[in-house]
Amino acid sequence: MSARSTLRALPTLLRVGTSEAVAYRAEMVVWFLSTTMPFISMALWTAVARYSPVGRYDSQDFVRYFLATFSVRQITGSWVAWQMNYEVRQGTLAMRLLRPISPLWSYAAENLGYMPLRLVMVLPIVLFSVVQLGAGSLPRTAWGWLFFFLALLGGWLITFLANVAIGTLSLYIESSSRLMDVWFALFLVCSGYLYPVELFPPALKGLLDWLPFRYQIGLPVELMTNAHGLGEALSLLARQWAWVSVLLVVSLLSWKRGLKRFAAYGG
């Protein structure tokens, strides 16, 4: 499969993803509702910060943080591991392999195709945050915007590639969904999704800087809410993209090797 024809097929694949999202819009709404955890965290932390601020966060900062968290989660979401797991079990992965384009590209395009519909849900929330809490809800500087979009892309890539890496394990062990559950639990606690990473005890926070999770949600959110200066943002961004490249290599290797074992049972 040449790179050129992959590139030519990409717009079509994106369109397929978008129309799928529109077709299953009820499911989208359900998913949207099931990611309301940031609002619960928001209620909790504003209660904690009602009398005195926590660290550098007062009630308003928490509202801003969790609105940003909610938005970033919508944009960086990926569910490929579950999809792969299902398709391997049902044998329908064979159909994907028959197409003259790598399934990884089609998975990625399907994921990204959902973006327009998600933006429809996210933009009102970002707008609300800006109107209610002022311009601090969005990056203030030009480099801030650039870094924010880079972090957003990096966050999505980490989520997607980790999904691929774990999803391909289902080619070895029949069901990788349990491993995905473990990853997901770690993600919830360590990514800054439940609370800003800063609020962890210092020793634990140092560890989190080296794990991929906080770069999925935490970093884009922090950059969106102007938490870092230029130098710090740069070093964090470097770590994020280091994780992107590590996961890229791991997922591609495990995909190539796993594919040889695929036997299409049931299909």
Partner 1 sequence: MLRRYLRLMGVRLRASSLLAMQYRADFIVDGIISVFWMITALVPLFVVFQNAGRDIEGWSFGESLLVIGWFTLLQGVLEGAINPSLTGVVEHIRKGTLDFVLLKPADAQFLVSTERFLPWRATNAVAALAIFGYAFHLLGRGPSLVGLGISFVLLGTSVLLLYSLWILTVCAAFYVVKVDNLGYFFTSLFDAARWPAPVFRGALSFVFTFIIPLGVMTTFPAEAMLGRLPWSSLGWAILGSCLFAFVSRRLWKRAIGRYTSASS
- Which residues sit at the interface with partner 1, rule CB under 8 A? 24, 26-27, 30-31, 33-37, 39-40, 43-45, 47-48, 54-55, 82, 178, 181-182, 185-186, 188-189, 194-195, 199-201
* H helical segments located in the chain: 3-23, 25-34, 37-48, 59-76, 80-90, 93-98, 103-113, 115-133, 142-168, 170-173, 177-190, 202-208, 218-224, 230-259
Q: Whole-number minimum distance, CB 238 to partner 1, in Å?
A: 27
- Measured from the CB atom, the residue of 43 and 263 that comes closer to partner 1 is 43
Q: Whole-number minimum distance, CB 67 to partner 1, in Å?
A: 15
Identify whether the C-beta of residue 93 lies closer than 8 Å to the C-beta of residue 232: no
Q: Whole-number minimum distance, CB 63 to partner 1, in Å?
A: 13
- Measured from the CB atom, the residue of 48 and 259 that comes closer to partner 1 is 48
Q: Whole-number minimum distance, CB 151 to partner 1, in Å?
A: 23
- Measured from the CB atom, the residue of 189 and 250 that comes closer to partner 1 is 189
Q: Whole-number minimum distance, CB 54 to partner 1, in Å?
A: 5
CA distance 25 to 7: 28
- Measured from the CB atom, the residue of 156 and 195 that comes closer to partner 1 is 195
